Amino acid sequence: MQLLKALLFLLIPVTLALPVDVAAPVDNVLETRQSGPVTCGSNTYTVAQVTGARNSGYNYVKQGGTAGGSTYPHVYNNYEGFSFPVAGPYYEFPLLKSGAYTGGSPGADRVIFNKSGQRAGEITHTGASGNNFVGCSRTS
Ligand SMILES: *[C@@H]1O[C@H](CO)[C@@H](O)[C@H](O)[C@H]1NC(C)=O
């Protein structure tokens, strides 16, 4: 019994001192893929809504058109300097609460993706000055 106590006394601090961030690279991958809802200003979007907007925008890039006589999707130059997790060039496409954007008013919120359709992030005019963008809740 004394020996067991002594062993525990020696082992517990060693166990507690082991590195705990072994899973960090996995977390980063999940973050790139968007692991939960996104809030832009007062609008909250599900993963499915954001993914839908991104797929819709990327389809236009692949097929070489724009939505309903609008200019979207178009190249986004990232003048704001967001640190997106994927390489550019980037495209922006409106992110709506009411389904896929098909032209008309784009609203304030956007999805950003690269030339292969990879998620870069979500940005919004809400809370930004002039025509600038700020990051939504999962984009900085
Ligand atoms: C999009 O981003 C991914 C991840 O960084 C990268 O592998 C891919 O080459 C990028 N696409 C283009 C066309 O740059």
CATH for 97: 3.10.450.30
Nearest CA to ligand 1 atom 5: 86
Position 35 scores a pLDDT of 79
Position 8 scores a pLDDT of 44
Query: Using a 6 Å cutoff on CB, does residue 62 contact ligand 1?
Result: no
Rounded distance from Cα 115 to ligand 1 centre (Å): 7
Position 26 scores a pLDDT of 43
What domain range is 75 assigned to?
Answer: 39-135
First-to-last C-alpha distance (Å) of the chain: 55
84 phi and psi angles, rounded to 5 deg: -65, 145
**Cα dist. 12→8, 9, 16, 17, 69 in Å?**
6, 6, 6, 9, 66
Whether residue 100 is contained in a domain is answered as: yes
Nearest to 70, CA basis, from 50, 52, 93? 93
Query: Using a 6 Å cutoff on CB, does residue 86 contact ligand 1?
Result: yes
Whether residue 129 is contained in a domain is answered as: yes
111 phi and psi angles, rounded to 5 deg: -100, 145
Whether residue 140 is contained in a domain is answered as: no
Fill in the amino acid letter for 59. Answer: N
Whether residue 116 is contained in a domain is answered as: yes
The Cα–Cα gap between 45 and 4 comes to 54
Chunked into runs of 10 residues, the chain (140 residues) has average pLDDT values of: 50 46 43 81 97 98 97 98 97 97 98 98 97 97
Q: Tell me the pTM.
A: 0.79
Domains held by the chain: number: 1
Whether residue 34 is contained in a domain is answered as: no
Whether residue 115 is contained in a domain is answered as: yes
Q: Is 122 a catalytic residue?
A: no
